[in-house]
Amino acid sequence: MFWQTTRFRIDLTQPQVMGIVNVTPDSFSDGGRHATLASALRHCEKLLKEGARILDIGGESTRPGSLAVPLDMELDRVVPLVREAVKLNVPVSVDTYKPEVMRAVLDLGADIVNDIWALRQGDAAAVVARHPSCGVCLMHMHRDPQTMQTAPMDGDVVLQVRTFLSEAAAQLQARGVARERIVVDPGIGFGKTVAQNFGLLARQAELLTDGFPLLAGWSRKSSLGAVTAVDGMPPEPAARVAASVAAAVLAVERGAAIVRVHDVAETVQALQVWRAMVAATPHSSICK
Which of the residues are catalytic? 221, 260
| 21 φ/ψ angles, rounded to the nearest 5 degrees | -125, 100
> Within the chain, where are the H helices?
37-50, 71-85, 99-107, 124-130, 157-174, 194-202, 222-227, 241-253, 264-279
The answer to whether 278 touches 284, Cβ cutoff 8 Å, is: yes
Asked whether the CA dihedral 35, 7, 71, 183 is positive or negative, the reply is: negative
Residues shown for the chain = 288
Percentages helix, strand, coil for the chain, rounded to the nearest 5?
40, 15, 45
Beta carbons within 10 angstroms of residue 66's beta carbon: 16
CB-side neighbour CA atoms (13 Å) of 267: 35
Beta bridge partners of 19: 55, 261
CA 26 to centroid of chain Cα atoms = 18
What strands, in cross-sheet order, belong to the sheet with 16-22?
182-185, 135-139, 112-115, 92-95, 54-58, 16-22, 258-261, 215-216
